[in-house]
Amino acid sequence: MKELLPRERFARAVRHEKVDRVPLLYRMKSEAKEKIARVYGITKTGTGLKHNPELELRLGNDAIIYQIGINAQFSHRPIKIGETWFNHFGVGYGKSGLKGRTEDEHLEFMKTQEFWGPAKVVPENFPNHHPITSMEELKNYTWPDPADPELIDPIKSLIDEYQKDYYIIVDLSSTLIEAAYAHLVGTQNFFLMLFDQPELIAAVLDGLTEYYTQLGKNVIDLGIDMIRVGDDVGAQQSMMISPVQWRELAKPRFDYMFKEFRKTNKDIDIKLHSCGDYSPIIGDMIELGVDLSGLMQPTGGNKHQKELRQKFGDDIAFIGGFDVQRLLPRGQVEAVRNGVCEVMKNLAAGGGYIFSPSHYILADVPIQNIFTMLEAQRDFGTYGKYPLN
């Protein structure tokens, strides 16, 4: 088969059409991105709303993924230790790491961190103020503007610059249940209010549905290829909430959202993402008309990759599945290589698959493992050659 353009390769894989090789999508957090970029002499390493795709394309990504959901604004933003930063949802975020130490002490500490070795502490931004914890707060709450040019304008230039060759994905995560528990309401509040104040939770989920439906329609209108909806409902061993409860809380709202998306562009590809084990709802994703499901973190029920591919793989495309919890950060190069081969055998055989680590690449991944993964994916990711012959 002749070599496809990256955007064709990605689009065809999503539609289960024949491709020359397995398309790729690598994503990394800023610390990992800076570490890898140095090797390639790349200096533009922006992430989140400041995303610069140069490194990812150098690594072979077939698509460009740009985040505009609630996660984009906080997770990649520099926040000083001890400070709380509020986003346009009114959620406050602080930085973890070295609690009680000053910024200067922290910088001093960072010097001691091995740049090339495993990162000992990578401070993370984390929600520490939740704006909706009562009916009173909900009444006074102002939902953000789904036409915010700060979110939408950068996508226009991405399309102009890259869409000729690359497939353009816009990421709305986190979108619904996760946006509610992790950001707007707070986790414990959310779970208890499901019983104590279900009307409050319903209202928050409705508000999020409306906001993200409008935001999604606005960006679909720009001509992107895929809208990515991310909503973490999986824990390591099982789902966080029951599949039954997910079908009550999330499914009808996603149904509405996705139908609205398709009113704007009937051919828009839709991805639904969850971390952790979400295997019990893959059938529901198919019913919702989801095109691509990931990230197939190989834990809990998701670890039966072959069976999942067999059961659902003709009706939905998969992305991810390569272990980032142990194999990529800790595995010896041989194990990493074999791991890539295994994932290709399990998920790529028969098509409808995009290779990706099952989450962001974090700062603890050794460079040699990144190179091993890149090499193995070239060796084992070509259709017509072992193991995809």
Partner 1 sequence: MFDEMELDDPVLEIPEGWESRAPEDWEWETLWDAVEYGDHIYTDSRVQEAIEADINPRVILDDGLFPGFNLQADRFSAQVIFIPEMLITARAMKAGLALIRPLLAANAEKPVGTFVIGTVLGDMHDIGQSIVTIMLENAGFNVINLGTDVHPDRFIQTAREENADLVGFSALLSTTVYYQKVTIEEFQNAGDREKVKILIGGAPTTPEWAEECGADGWGKDAVEAVRLALRLVEQPRAAWNSDGG
- Tell me how far the alpha carbon of residue 66 is from its chain's centroid: 10
Q: How far is CA 14 from CA 19, 53, 88, in A?
A: 10, 21, 33
- Cα R_g (the chain), whole angstroms: 20
Closest CA to 154 of 86, 79, 52, 230: 52
- Contact between 120 and partner 1 per CB under 8 A: yes
Nearer CB in complex with partner 1: 166/278? 278
To partner 1, the closest distance from the beta carbon of 32 in angstroms equals: 9
To partner 1, the closest distance from the beta carbon of 46 in angstroms equals: 21
The answer to whether 55 and 386 are in contact (CB under 8 A) is no
Nearer CB in complex with partner 1: 142/195? 195
- Contact between 362 and partner 1 per CB under 8 A: yes
Q: Stretches 18-26, 47-55, 204-212, 237-245: which one binds partner 1 (CB under 8 A)?
A: 237-245
The answer to whether 231 and 176 are in contact (CB under 8 A) is yes
Nearer CB in complex with partner 1: 271/359? 359
- Contact between 236 and partner 1 per CB under 8 A: yes
Q: Which of 42, 49, 110, 122 binds partner 1 (CB under 8 A)?
A: 122
Q: Give me the 287-326 binding string for partner 1, x by CB under 8 A, dash otherwise.
A: ------------x-x--x--x---x------------xxx
Q: Give me the 250-289 binding string for partner 1, x by CB under 8 A, dash otherwise.
A: --------------------------x--xx--x------
Size of the site for partner 1 (CB under 8 A): 45
To partner 1, the closest distance from the beta carbon of 338 in angstroms equals: 18
C-alpha to C-alpha distance for 168 and 160, rounded to whole angstroms: 11
C-alpha to C-alpha distance for 270 and 69, rounded to whole angstroms: 15
- To which residue do tokens 């939902």 refer? 143
Strands (E), the chain: 63-67, 85-86, 92-95, 125-129, 167-171, 226-230, 269-273, 292-295, 317-320, 353-354
Q: Which residues contact 303 (CB under 8 A, 6 or more apart)?
A: none
> Do β-strands 317-320 and 269-273 pair in parallel, antiparallel, or remain unpaired?
unpaired
Q: Return the bridge partners of 28, or none.
A: 361
- Contact between 123 and partner 1 per CB under 8 A: yes
Q: Which of residues 178-197 bind partner 1 (CB under 8 A)?
A: 187-188, 191-192, 194-195
Nearer CB in complex with partner 1: 80/326? 326
Q: Which of residues 79-118 bind partner 1 (CB under 8 A)?
A: 96-100, 118
List residues near partner 1 by CB under 8 A. 96-100, 118-124, 126, 187-188, 191-192, 194-195, 235-242, 245, 276, 279-280, 283, 299, 301, 304, 307, 311, 324-326, 329-330, 362-364
